[in-house]
Amino acid sequence: MRQISKITEEKYGLDVKFKHKDHKYHIEPFLDDVSLIKDLKKITDHSSLVVYNTEENFKYALTHWKEIVGIGRHFSLYFVNPFSKTEKKWIVFPQTHDQISEGQKIKDGLKSLSESVCQTTQKEVLEITK
What is the tens place of the pLDDT at every residue in 85-100? Answer: 989 999 999 999 888 8
Is residue 60 pLDDT above 70, yes or no? yes
pLDDT value at residue 44? 64
pLDDT tens, 6-33?
A: 999 988 889 999 888 889 999 999 998 8
CA distances 88 to 24, 56, 80, Å, are: 20, 18, 6
18, 59, 95, 116 from 13: Cα distances, Å: 16, 23, 22, 25
Q: Say if CB 53 and CB 120 are below 8 A apart.
A: yes
Say if pTM beats, i.e. exceeds, 0.85.
Answer: yes
**Distances, alpha carbon 84 to alpha carbons 1, 15, 25, 70, 123, in Å:** 28, 26, 21, 30, 15
- The identity of residue 129, as a single letter, is T
pLDDT for 87: 94
**Could you give the CA distance from residue 103 to residue 98 in angstroms, rounded to a whole number?**
9
Please give the average per-residue pLDDT across 57-78, as a whole number.
93
Task: Tell me which long-range contacts 105-113 makes (C-beta under 8 A, separation of at least 24).
Answer: 106/65, 107/62, 110/58, 110/61, 110/62, 111/58
